[in-house]
Structure 1
Amino acid sequence: MQTPILEKYCDARLPWYTIYPTVPEFSASVGVKACENWLSRLPSNESVSLYLHVPFCRSICWYCGFPTTSTRREAPVLNYLAVLREEIRLVAEQAPQALLVSDVHFGGGTPNLIGPAEFLALMEFLRRRFAFTKTATVAVEIDPRTFTMEMAEALGNAGVTRASLGVQSFDPVVQVAVNRVQTEAQIAAALENLRQHGINRVNFDLMYGLPHQTVESCVETASRAVAMRPDRLAVFGYAHIPSFKRNQRLIEQTALPDTTARAEQAAAVAETLVAAGYREIGLDHFALPDDELAVAQKAGRLRRNSLGYSADTCKTLIGFGASAIGRLGDGYLQNEVATGSYTRQIRAGHLATSKGHRLTDEDRVRGAVIERLMCDLEADVPAICAAHGFDPIPILDSAERLAILASDEIVDIEKGIVRVRQEHRFILRAVPAAFDAYLAARLG
């Protein structure tokens, strides 16, 4: 990819478009009352997804951009679990009936810091408060450094069906530079423990653009990962925004690869994974042909939500825990980000919603266009607008950057159908940004 194109379109400030509108557009005017109202009006004939955020780690990785704190003690985790259960009770009571759950995701932080007995108890509590479908998916993010055989057994007994392992890089120099030192043996042991307990669907998270990374070290990491044959891999580009995350200030900025080097790393990893039989999924995922994401993509029903790419077709995602984001029928909601504020709200008997966004009809149209671009690298704008009762002309005309993207041969546009050229997958975010009605005002 040409350096001028990369410099023009690789803007770290561009959203990842897991949701639209994005969190900076959320307002405190949409709070607890809206959450209560939206929960009470959830349809009884549709299943929902649940997300539970665990904001604790044993140590903080310097690249991390998620809300989490480090703790060596068990007490903060146990106290948090008690509050989490109370929030689950409050939400369940607001719903008009026992909600049907088809998908559960534990994220963080490090969800496997929850002890085996406590995790089993939490899953039992969820199953008492909600009606799980027989085929419900339960996924857990795992730090291999703190994962035990006992925890693997508990996950299996709790009905967990998928696990995501944070690998990032096998290069020891890179690991030291980002404060995440772990051995290949630890990854292999975690994978073996999961498979021994019936959890056979496993994801690996890899990263490029980290300090001291090279094309060679990225390919070496990808090759080692492929040898373990996970079902899918997420390959994220590190976004260095130290003004936003203080822990990123500990990273040596001069050791970070430049934009061209990052693109070369991303391309080399993609080439390695595709050669090993994985299919490219959207912006940054790769999956074996029989994985849920690959099947969903082939069928045209791949989704994008606050957790990333998903085969989950639920319209409703309820977020539990500090900072958790959910989507109900009328819009998006986010809990208090700070664990202390979240705890105080729940202990006072209130939901912890701190802000949100009520979707307009135009938001829904633009969001649908953005989701298809992020999932399929293609969006039939007239068809999407027709499905929402919208005139496509104003939507297309307002996307002023589309003409520039077309002239730079990033996209092809034919009869309102926008297609991103495959060779520009690395800068995909620049295309949905053209349909983001809020972005220009935010970036200035």
Structure 2
Amino acid sequence: MSTEAGSQAPGGGAPWAGGVTLDSSGRPLDQIRLAGIAAIGHHGVFEHERREGQRFVADVVVHLDTRRAAAGDDLAHTLHYGILAEQVAAVLAGEPADLVETVAERIAATVLAFPQAVAVDVSVHKPQAPITVPFDDVVVTIHRDRTKLPAAEPYRPPAEASAPTPAQAPPTSTAAFPLVAPSAAAAPPPAPAAAPQPSWHEVLQTGSQPTADGSAHAPEPQDALDVPPAHPVDVVIALGANQGSAQETLRAAVTDLARVPGLEVVDVSPLARTAAVGGPEQPDYLNAVVLARTTLAPRALLHATQAIEQAHGRERSERWGPRTLDIDLIVVGSALAVTDDLELPHPRAHARAFVLQPWAQVDPDAVLPGLGGGPVAALAATAPDRDGIRWLALDWLTAPVPAPQPEPQPDAEQGRDAGPSTTGTSAAAHGQHPSQHPSQHTAGDWRA
């Protein structure tokens, strides 16, 4: 493997790069090149390729500005190519794909998860491809940037390998800013078992987190997600519940969000009743989307929403299982991040009709950024779970709606992690119809 950082003049050639990338001033960006990263992968359309594996090689050119890092001799302001090389090799040796093109997209997404990376050229070599004529190599080369995002998800380490042990839980790390866990010698002494925990109001008011001794403290900044925006930014928050008095819980959650310092609720979508997708058999969900503006850092907003979930009895005992309240951050300004505790934009929002449909009702011109993004209304119309939406209630913040109950679905899968499309059946029975303009719904008293 070789690495190189340097500027390339316009028109200059690179051995295997897609050419020069310019910054916002029209000047060529610097480059970090990783050539010849190799691993045994099991990619291919033939059974023997999946079974036996073969050698794959990746060349990567990352386009970025290295001046700030060089001026301060600070790794935090450039790309850690050692970590990137390990992640590229993990993609090559990881989840099998039929196409080399898919592997290249995964590598590009992994590179662009580093916020310093502006663009990337990826070449994936398959020198042992099952071709019946003499050949030297098969190479797929792609160029991706922030305007032409990869059609794949970035690499994530297996959960069992990345999960911290209870005794030495390291701080949250990101792809861009790897952090080192504190040593055992520096660990604070164990706290008394009966120490009181801070109330959720304290968490909301201060942005603090519970510590081992039961007190609350404002966490030290760890990465860009801990930095508040210079100006208020738009936020999209998804709400869902299917346990207890779900409608009352969602109403209370909207009120709680409006009380969070630094968060201004702008509008609330109609309420969607949706079939559960992706988990055990369970009652239908009630789902809504909140549009807001915030001056909070993304992670501080995450902590506030988690505190609201906990205040309403949220338990995380089963993935995609029933829950009293689920709050997801879908979009926070222009934040693009993949970290241990938060991904923005939400990585599965583009396929969740129970998010997209209410969102499109309250903001018909909305656009979901990031991988798989696009016009929200168009995504809602093609989402895999679109047929699971039972109805939309427009005045749900002030009027009662029927409690969600399971309905027979002979041709539909039961589960949770995606939402559905709109049918007017039950909506008409309750004097509400999905085709009504979103401005007809009543906002309730959360603005007071």
TM-score with structure 1 setting the length: 0.27
Higher RCO structure, 1 or 2 (CA under 8 Å, sep 6+): 1
TM-score with structure 2 setting the length: 0.27
